[in-house]
Structure 1
């Protein structure tokens, strides 16, 4: 079993430990109903402002998984998944556009792993971005920047990122929602989905000839 799968399993173990800590009262979380009422009272501009803030957070390298968990906690798994995915995708596109205009990369970057990542993105842009997004660890910011700098087509980047983001955003929105309700069944479902997504991403990485790539998001 390769390193990526072990990292995914380690993250799953942390999630379950957190769930048991919440259910056992070791970690106290705010009441979700009270948070929902506060969101309603803040007015119609709150939601766009929150999504914009989350997009900026992920654009500068903040973990999108944390955004998904927060949105899942406040809005529930379905709305949390859709809102956090939209935020992460907006942040990714922002970095992609900036890199495309400011950091064109015509030469091969230093280091075998970076060269392998660039080569795979140039050869199979949509599949490469999709595969990288499925894996639960690594640098989202670096992937966005590299894709823009080497001239990956915007359509391929957006489709690959959107589809690749969805499984993890659903997983962490389920985690956030499960923490809010201290629902261990929901947490176990999230862990199972995390393991499946990690294994699938690793298989796609191997099958697509990306074995040397270690930059993931």
Structure 2
């Protein structure tokens, strides 16, 4: 039986789909000179109106790159970057919240095991995943905003990471829009400004490759769900918990079958771990101490070392059994 809450969600979803449909239909026929003239005519309120326009355009799937160029032309390289970045981030947050409140519950209830594992893995990475996909354009920006809303990534890390990770690209395209207007009106120092824009564009183009290399250097990682699966299938695997003994045996407990070697004692126990030849899955309460342990072991030449994201805390959130004492 349909409830008022369901009907409100359905009406909201239809409204968003209609807005997106209009945006996709009209997106490639934007009259940029007329848009710039209309925004510029608002005087002191122009920057605020442009932020609102950019946010609505992001929700409606209008091309953000064109708006970023317009923002640079209207407001210059510094204010334009702040205005563009604020509008894009606000739009990204609105799309995120729309997806979370209108579709996340429905998707989670109907997701198969593979999709559920993907969503859990993304949530376990949290802000790190948001930073990666913002800096490495694997998916269209407007689609990504809605997709991330279907995960359990908290709102505040999503907002802050989106703002920070989009800053390099926003600055580069804002400067490009500013340079275009300067060239049109015959501004001074065009060569110097053009070289600066070129440098920014090259930096933005190289950044994804550098980030992917850094990501690869971090080595393999497992979500807590992957650890659970590996415990039932993997051969010769040691689950290493690097918390202090009082935490390992304390009230919070530890994952069954794990070996406790506190981080300060790890160096002395490395020969023992190397001799076992096992794959080492490393956990702590979250993943701070385990990250340090993994780095230490890899520097010592152990290559079969895997960081488990989320640690014992993530295991507890799944209501899986823990041992105490």
Q: Shift of residue 64 of structure 1?
A: 2.7
Classify 1:43/1:73 alpha carbon distance in 2 versus 1 (closer, same or farther; 3 Å).
Answer: closer
Is contact 2:120-2:152 (8 Å) kept?
no
Between the aligned partners of 1:142 and 1:188, the Cα distance in structure 2 is 28
- Please give the alpha-carbon distance, in whole angstroms, between the structure 1 residues aligned to 2:97 and 2:82: 22
Q: How far does residue 128 in structure 1 lie from its aligned partner after superposition?
A: 0.5
3-state DSSP class of the match of 1:106? Answer: helix
Matched residue SS, 1:193: helix
> Do the aligned partners of 1:118 and 1:146 also contact (CA within 8 Å) in 2?
no
Task: Give the gaps of 5 or more residues in structure 1.
Answer: 1-28, 211-217
1:62 CA displacement: 2.7
Larger RCO (alpha carbons 8 Å, 6+ apart): 1
Q: Distance in 1 between the 2:48 and 2:101 partners? A: 27
| Residue 172, structure 1, aligned to residue 173, structure 2 | yes
Give the superposed CA RMSD: 3.0
Determine if contact 1:174/1:187 at 8 Å carries over to the other structure: yes
Partner deviation per Cα, 1:142-184 (whole Å, 9 max, x = no partner): 2211221122100111111111111110111111122223433
In the other structure, the counterpart of 1:196 is 206
Shift of 1:205: 5.2
Give CA deviations for 1:57-89 in whole Å, capped at 9, x if unaligned: 112223333222211122111111110000001
Give how far 1:127 is off: 0.7
C-alpha displacement at 1:109, in angstroms? 5.4
What does residue 259 of structure 2 align with?
none
From the CA coordinates, give the structure whose radius of gyration is larger. Answer: 2
- Size of the aligned set, in residue pairs, is 175
Q: Secondary structure at the match of 1:44?
A: helix
Aligned to 1:161: 162
Q: Cα 1:203–1:190, aligned 2, differ >3 Å: closer, same or farther?
A: same
Q: Which residue of 2 aligns with 1:134?
A: 135
Contact 2:50 2:83 in 1 (8 A): no
* SS of aligned partner of 1:72: helix
Change over 3 Å in CA distance of 1:48–1:120 after alignment to 2: same
How many angstroms apart in 1 are the aligned matches of 2:136 and 2:126? 16
> What are the Cα deviations for residues 130-150 of structure 1, in whole angstroms up to 9, with x where unaligned?
111112463222221122112
Contact 2:59–2:142 under 8 Å retained in 1: yes
How far off its partner does 1:201 sit?
3.8
1:80 maps to 80
Cα distance change, pair 44–179 in 1 and its aligned pair in 2 (3 A): closer
Query: TM-score, length-normalised on structure 1?
Result: 0.68
8 Å contact kept, 2:93–2:159: yes
Whether contact under 8 Å (1:65, 1:168) holds in the other structure is: no
Q: Residue 208 of structure 1: CA displacement?
A: 7.5
After superposition, the Cα gap between the structure-2 partners of 1:168 and 1:101, relative to the gap in structure 1 and judged at 3 Å, is same
